[in-house]
Structure 1
């Protein structure tokens, strides 16, 4: 199987491709998105609905919820060639090295079958010091996969987790059908930039995707970089989203944004869980604390970016002496989450707690350090995903299949 790119959405000219079929991009072939929007170019997947987006004016949230982490096209076909026209919005940071282009990954019958990037696209240049962002318009590009077998097969195209992606057109050289219902359970997950994808090298390499694939479940990923903040509108979205399994990863963004104090934190956690329980009263619900992160284990936020000539890194600006007064650290939050979930579990047997250091702890940090001091790389994601699959979905875990 080969994958290659064209710079524009012109139809291919190979002699072995004679007829191309364009399939409308509709919810029936779009998975992992909460909502989709018609744009001037095509379809823009969203991971928060419009009513929720209106309740927060944070431009970072607007960007991250539109980045399609965990979103994929899924269909059944005998096609030997597939083309997807897209208009991505790529990110650039003033003073930082250029970001690599986002990766599109092809799965055939659940197995990796190709990787590609899209040429062209918009570029959003962000100046962290000035607090400004400018979008430079670009052109539609084509991602192309060829050399597939002519047998009937399930095809998935996973979209880049870090690039807003407008889906313009889907073309195949054989008809597209809906994927039959495989009876898989739906796992709804909310978390921070690590759940969003952070430094993973592709959309199926982020830890929630790895855990979902290993455990045979359908992922709906509400990992929102910088925005796992116990927002009430996110809880209401989770309340209203059909799911068989739910997890909430809480901690790092509350610390590195220095958003609240301990007095506000505990009631906010209770309120978030109460709202989810309004729509999912008995669904297995797993509360997960932060993975190990040395710069914030015992030092409060806020967090600041450090730019140098080679890489981006982070440092915490808070004073550990302020912790007794209510400033939050990862250890403070872990202790409080453990207490809250134990208290609630007395009346809610389907509520569970997982210490994030069991997914990635001090020993894992020694083996796979956080490249920027905050986010794991692909090896770190693999470790977290494998551990989560074992601890949550494995025998005796809160998400294990009941016999």
Structure 2
């Protein structure tokens, strides 16, 4: 088994090395509107510090964004009302529509060399957790499962993660949250600190993409049902700690919305981006032909398997994942817009959670049912 672990570990590291070589050739001037807007947010943070939360077009008096627009031959570069991914607000400001998290992370690196370090850092986190999963595996099937999934997760850091700068940090957050979820729910004693840490991590992911707020849905449903069934102070405190931590994680986006749109609950997105739910068979067909469909089918299948054969508290991980999948799929599949990465976050969070729950099962869970020895009545009495 050590040889198998070593082999899968080397495969993950080889894919990481290949990704690094590929990323090193990327250009930050590929002409994608979203890229330039994220880089403008980063530029504002580097110029004004925390004041960079204010993305008003009037702050472009150093002509940074205008210069970017000229480089891609944008015809209306001098008219902020026509700038891509900027929207006019009722307070008169013209602001970036995206939450501030991706721009903040880009701002941590020197201008002109920001994208590659961001993707490299996210890839190292994903690779580290993939190697941890392989190391934790204790049987040939679990080693193979952890190894194949680790290789897949590393591959996805190029495609579809390259489609948007916000996807790379989201992928890293999903890997971390999946590990923490399994660690939290497979413990006999569940402390509020671990629940709060998961809430903080998932809340922080909203600063990269607003739809990441849906990633907490399954946790909220699980904690709500748990409290209604037990009615204990411990479950109430867990739920309260989780919710408070989510709110703390989201705080930068709420502050940015207050600064830019005039209210923490006011969106900086335009009316064209806020669409009513509607099932569109053309959009559904695009999902069916995309890699996202494979990931969702895999997440559903493994969640069902964990529900059927998982032991003890491991099944509770599957319940959280099932609730999360249901809410997110209803939202995105009824959202009449398709992109190559919309359902990737929920798919990866689900797969990481299920993988680590499987690996954290008690050692005797891997034994065939016929070989398991149930405790006698005397052995079952707690000491």
Normalising by the residue count of structure 1, what TM-score does the alignment of the two structures yield?
A: 0.26
Q: 1 or 2 for the larger relative contact order (CA 8 Å, sep ≥6)?
A: 2
**Which protein has the larger Cα radius of gyration, Structure 1 or Structure 2?**
2
